[in-house]
Structure 1
Amino acid sequence: MQWGKKLLLLFVLLIVVVGCSSNDTDEDTENDAEGSNTDSEVQVGGELKIAYSAQPATIDPHMTTAVATSDIMRGVYETLVTVDEDQNFQPMLAESYDISEDGLIYTFNLRQGVTFHNGKEMKAEDVVASMKRWQELSTNGRAQFAEATFEEVDEYTVEMVLPNPLSTALSVLTSYLGSAPVILPKEIIENAPDAGIDEHIGTGPFKFVEWRQDAHIQLTRNDDYQARDEEASGLAGKKEALVDDVYFYFVTDASTRLAGMLSGEYDMAHAIAYDNVPQLEAADNIDIHIVPGSTQVLTFNQKKGVFSDIRAREAVRAALSLDEMMQAAFGDEKYYTINHNLVMPHLEGQFYSEFGKETHNQNDVEKGKQIIEEAGLEGEEVVILSTRDYEEVYNASIVVQERLEQIGLSVRLDVVDWPTFLEKKEDENGFDINIVGFGPQPEPTSYLFVGKGPHSGWMDDDEFHDLVAEFRNQPTLEDTKDIYDEMMKWLEEDIAFIKVADYNRVNVSQKLVKNVHFLDGFITWNISKEQ
């Protein structure tokens, strides 16, 4: 009898030990693709303090392509459709959507009971007003949806009608970069000043509180947020505001962001200087996140000045060492990929062309100098617009300045803050060259540097833009490959800009911040913080 009791006790103990071991293993292997912290007990509350490298000129998503606006406001404003972590299209404010067989009619069935931050329920009239404003003000809206119509079918149904098939339609409608088609109350839109929305009322998990210029933007939890039921993935699925408040502090100095992370003053930091990474890797309290960043592009002002002459553009392309530029900007090769192709490497299986490869990264100063001499352009003044708010932009600009001086041009570096940079790059008198990063896009024609106007340095040639229109008017993206080849051939011959490289960005977080994810920028929902 005693022996039987001992066997029973031993059996129970074995069950307990095996059960504990199984649970421990599950917790140890739980992690995301970025290597961020997770925690089995989610804590709610506290403040999330983010040191951000630049202050946006506006936080009206319809009116800007600035990545800073996207990072800060994507928790405040939402779109009809979005993308998951694998870049698959998913509904967000739409419950579902349907596309007609001819690809011309998109029907968005809206979620019912979703309220704006002012308590008003979102309905079709708000969506129609928002999409019409986005269509009028945004770069992609004007370029790709100029002739689209948006109509209210009933209170919870909106119909978008296109004049022609648009292969890029969902790619643009889901993008939070490049002027996002976010949804606002109709009344806010009707009363919006020309300078942009000044009352930020969205549907997202966070509400806008204040913007103290040159200091911070504060967001607070939306206690009435109506989350989707699907599992969170990328920008899709269930969103929860797990912290009480989010502060984006504008800390333009890289060393100050570093010091603030090491001291614990900040919970997260954006765009850590690449040469600071080893110091942070040595810290026990810091997680490093190397995430896809942007595409660095050197843009010529073709409308006015020396680079209206194609020979000057050819000389610069010949002379530049893109390796030198990227070493100065990023240091270690793990942070960048020199790439002539318009799209980032992960999309090259769908969009790739050999055109542009042979003339890319020539590193031939003598050839560049000879072209300048033969064109009679020695001593011509060149203004390179730059900023120290993004160190990689400034450091690459220094290398370009040195190369251009070596081929006989007179170069001045105009270094300004980020809002001024954005303003001057829109002005034909504001620059001859600028170097800037463009956020990742799902297809090549969504990049602003292949459009008309200042983002491409006024590359307004009808032949090229006819190719862009042909690309977009295909039934699907799979039907665009041959046209993409023609586009790349034209760009190689015209030298409208120089696609330098695709690069990664280094963001960091304190280990006490849990469930950190990024997708084309910061995600502030579903993050918790140990108290």
Structure 2
Amino acid sequence: MKTLVQRIIHHRVWIMALVAVLLLAGCSSGGSSTETGSGSDSASGDTPAAAAATELKFPLTQTIPTLDPHLSLGGSNATIGLNIYEGLFAFNSKYEPVPNLAESYEVSEDGKDYTFHLRQGVLFHNGKEMKAEDVTASLNRWKDLAPRAKSSFGESTFNVVDDYTVQLKLNEPKNDILAQLSHVLNFAAIMPKEIVDAAGPEGVKEYIGTGPFKFVEWKTDQYVHVSKFDDFKPVDTPADGFSGHKEALVNDVYFTLATDNATRFSSFLAGDFDYIDIGVDNLPQVENDPEISLVKDLSTDFNLVFNKKSPLFSNLKNREAVAAVINAEDILLGITSTPELYRLNPSYMYTENTKWYSEAGSEAYNQNNPDKAKQLLQDAGYNGEVVRLLTTKDTGTFYSATLMLQSQLESIGVKTQIDIYDYATMLTKRADAGAWDIYLGPFIVPSTPSQLLYLNPTYGFADDAKLAELLSKATAAQSDEDIQAANDELQAYEWTYLAAIKIGDVYKYSAIRKNIEGLTTLYGIPNLANTRVSQK
């Protein structure tokens, strides 16, 4: 590990200056550039590109419950959907919403009316031109289905003004509308109206978007195959994060399911994959390979979510007991195996998100106080009931974190059982109030508090009037001063109410073969547009 740390320190200056390692060499083969944390940009060189490969196999670490972008929650779904679909807006590398399928927009002086002007000539994969009727059908469905959007949009609707103009009228001003339209989980993806109209309870029946790749085949538990969309119309601005210019530089991408860490790494060593997330134990096998680049990215945060409808954790005292015993560093070390890959953080936002970062209520964070926890259990009347911990082994981080939590709970006399499911089933169980007590897992960090699922009544069942009031207040604030004050009040109350407990932020290492050029990632999710694969 010493060698790797020295290399990271030695290269920190040029990493930050170039802003992107694996990431975005655009259409050329001239050097790559790296950014740790938030995303990447492309760099072009003058060297002629090597002969390009036409196919890319990309490993997925989670099973795929659905390819409906309005329903999907997991990173694997987002990885696929980002390449098939587009939204009106997309995040750049600073988490700022940038117009994408929207050409421009206006907001009324009172902040209640949004007018979106659409790009013209954008085609769906079925050859139909995207128009306002498709946008309104897609977004009205999305806002009714996506937990992240429901609290912001309420009963407001998107309406057609003309073929290339859409209007949204809100009952009150909101500061998160564009951010909601940019997030890739519960993606506000635009699909043809007829696809939306034909969707059933299980989701859409066809996967048609406007993205650089079009859907070809989904072979369950094996792969999803997409191919280059020849009529894709890119935005004429520089690529940045998930925004700006996109171009399919390979003909076919196979998103290949490879949930077992050891098998996935063996496949990478064998040359089946050119990109892979790797654990610390595997670093010695690749860190000195001149044909492989290592990237350290700020990936997700980890949160413990309570089921507030469970008999045990509807009782605040029991939630407080868990908060008191939590040793965040031990859990994070169990997830990452090294202090190099985590940081303590009491805020539900990254420190880099200066608009929404807050330390209010942080005295309740990382208490590591077993004696206090035992007293709180006694006050709550805990009598040896079993606490059900919901998890999956499809990615090791869920399970390893849960094992660490189990040890801490049992150290204060709490009886536990770990219920393990495949990833898709775990998501189904998580929506069932009778199926679990605590869920511990990674969350792709949102850009606004309204995107925090665990503050929502449908996710962990945080049905609390004051929490809803404070969340609404934070979302309605307009000036920077009002936003900061409302956000501090919200986070301070969340640390009192305990819908969830923040554990910390997690980094990850990725290994990328040097024949991969132009790959972009943002909060750990890759965007394969602009990615070239040269022949080995």
Q: Which TM-score applies when normalising by structure 2?
A: 0.89
Aligned match for 2:33, one of 6, 31, 34: 31
Tell me by how many angstroms 1:54 deviates. Answer: 0.7
Aligned match for 1:382, one of 375, 380, 387: 387
* Alignment of 1:83 onto 2:88: no
* Alignment of 1:402 onto 2:407: yes
- Say if 2:457 and 2:463, in contact at 8 Å, map to a contact too: yes
What is aligned with 1:518? 521
- Say if 2:392 and 2:420, in contact at 8 Å, map to a contact too: yes
Q: Which amino acid aligns with 1:526?
A: N
* Alignment of 1:213 onto 2:228: no
Q: Which runs of 5+ in 2 are unaligned?
A: 1-27
What is aligned with 1:272? 278
Q: What is the CA–CA distance in structure 1 between the aligned matches of 2:257 and 2:420, rounded to whole Å? A: 18
- Say if 1:81 and 1:91, in contact at 8 Å, map to a contact too: yes
Q: What is the CA–CA distance in structure 2 between the aligned matches of 1:381 and 1:126, rounded to whole Å? A: 49
What is aligned with 1:320? 326
Tell me by how many angstroms 1:478 deviates. Answer: 5.0
Q: Which amino acid aligns with 1:386?
A: T
What is aligned with 1:417? 422
- Say if 1:115 and 1:122, in contact at 8 Å, map to a contact too: yes
Q: Which protein has the larger Cα radius of gyration, Structure 1 or Structure 2?
A: 1
Q: What is the CA–CA distance in structure 1 between the aligned matches of 2:265 and 2:480, rounded to whole Å? A: 42
Tell me by how many angstroms 1:203 deviates. Answer: 0.4
Q: What is the CA–CA distance in structure 2 between the aligned matches of 1:513 and 1:507, rounded to whole Å? A: 13
Q: Which amino acid aligns with 1:53?
A: T
1:425-480 CA distances to partner (integer Å, 9 max, x unpaired)? 11111111110111121122211112222x2x211110111111111122355531
What is aligned with 1:230? 237
Aligned match for 2:69, one of 61, 79, 82: 61
Tell me by how many angstroms 1:30 deviates. Answer: 5.8
Q: What is the CA–CA distance in structure 2 between the aligned matches of 1:150 and 1:515, rounded to whole Å? A: 36
Aligned match for 1:527, one of 524, 531, 534: 531
Q: What is the CA–CA distance in structure 2 between the aligned matches of 1:156 and 1:488, rounded to whole Å? A: 40
1:495-530 CA distances to partner (integer Å, 9 max, x unpaired)? 222111111233332211112221131111101111
Tell me by how many angstroms 1:387 deviates. Answer: 1.1
- Relative to structure 1, the CA distance from residue 449 to residue 461 in structure 2 (aligned partners, 3 Å threshold; closer, same or farther) is same
Between the two proteins, what is the percent identity of the paired residues? 35
Q: What is the CA–CA distance in structure 2 between the aligned matches of 1:71 and 1:321, rounded to whole Å? A: 32
Q: Which amino acid aligns with 1:294?
A: T
- SS at 1:63 equivalent: coil
Q: Which TM-score applies when normalising by structure 1?
A: 0.90
What is aligned with 1:5? none
Q: Which amino acid aligns with 1:506?
A: Y
Q: What is the CA–CA distance in structure 1 between the aligned matches of 2:258 and 2:408, rounded to whole Å? A: 31
- Relative to structure 1, the CA distance from residue 417 to residue 192 in structure 2 (aligned partners, 3 Å threshold; closer, same or farther) is same
- Say if 2:302 and 2:441, in contact at 8 Å, map to a contact too: yes
**Greater mean deviation of Cα atoms: 204-213 or 35-44:** 35-44
Q: What is the CA–CA distance in structure 1 between the aligned matches of 2:284 and 2:361, rounded to whole Å? A: 36
- Relative to structure 1, the CA distance from residue 115 to residue 28 in structure 2 (aligned partners, 3 Å threshold; closer, same or farther) is closer
What is aligned with 2:316? 310
- Relative to structure 1, the CA distance from residue 352 to residue 221 in structure 2 (aligned partners, 3 Å threshold; closer, same or farther) is closer
What is aligned with 2:501? 498
RMSD (Å), alpha carbons: 2.0
Q: What is the CA–CA distance in structure 1 between the aligned matches of 2:94 and 2:68, rounded to whole Å? A: 27
What is aligned with 1:204? 211
Q: What is the CA–CA distance in structure 2 between the aligned matches of 1:281 and 1:341, rounded to whole Å? A: 33
Q: How is 1:8-19 mapped onto 2 (pairs within 5 angstroms)?
A: none
- Say if 1:369 and 1:406, in contact at 8 Å, map to a contact too: no
1:64-95 CA distances to partner (integer Å, 9 max, x unpaired)? 22222111110100001112223333211112
Q: What is the CA–CA distance in structure 1 between the aligned matches of 2:452 and 2:232, rounded to whole Å? A: 33
Aligned match for 2:119, one of 111, 114, 122: 111
Aligned match for 1:392, one of 379, 386, 397: 397
Q: Which amino acid aligns with 1:480?
A: I
Q: What is the CA–CA distance in structure 1 between the aligned matches of 2:33 and 2:503, rounded to whole Å? A: 34
Q: What is the CA–CA distance in structure 1 between the aligned matches of 2:29 and 2:89, rounded to whole Å? A: 33
- Relative to structure 1, the CA distance from residue 478 to residue 259 in structure 2 (aligned partners, 3 Å threshold; closer, same or farther) is farther
Q: How many residues align?
A: 501
- Relative to structure 1, the CA distance from residue 460 to residue 366 in structure 2 (aligned partners, 3 Å threshold; closer, same or farther) is same
Q: Which amino acid aligns with 2:102?
A: A
What is aligned with 1:345? 351
Q: What is the CA–CA distance in structure 2 between the aligned matches of 1:511 and 1:38, rounded to whole Å? A: 15
Tell me by how many angstroms 1:180 deviates. Answer: 1.2
Q: What is the CA–CA distance in structure 1 between the aligned matches of 2:359 and 2:445, rounded to whole Å? A: 21
Q: What is the CA–CA distance in structure 1 between the aligned matches of 2:30 and 2:148, rounded to whole Å? A: 44
**Greater mean deviation of Cα atoms: 31-40 or 476-485:** 31-40
1:142-169 CA distances to partner (integer Å, 9 max, x unpaired)? 2211222211111111111111110111
* Alignment of 1:260 onto 2:267: yes
- SS at 1:346 equivalent: coil
Aligned match for 2:255, one of 240, 244, 248: 248
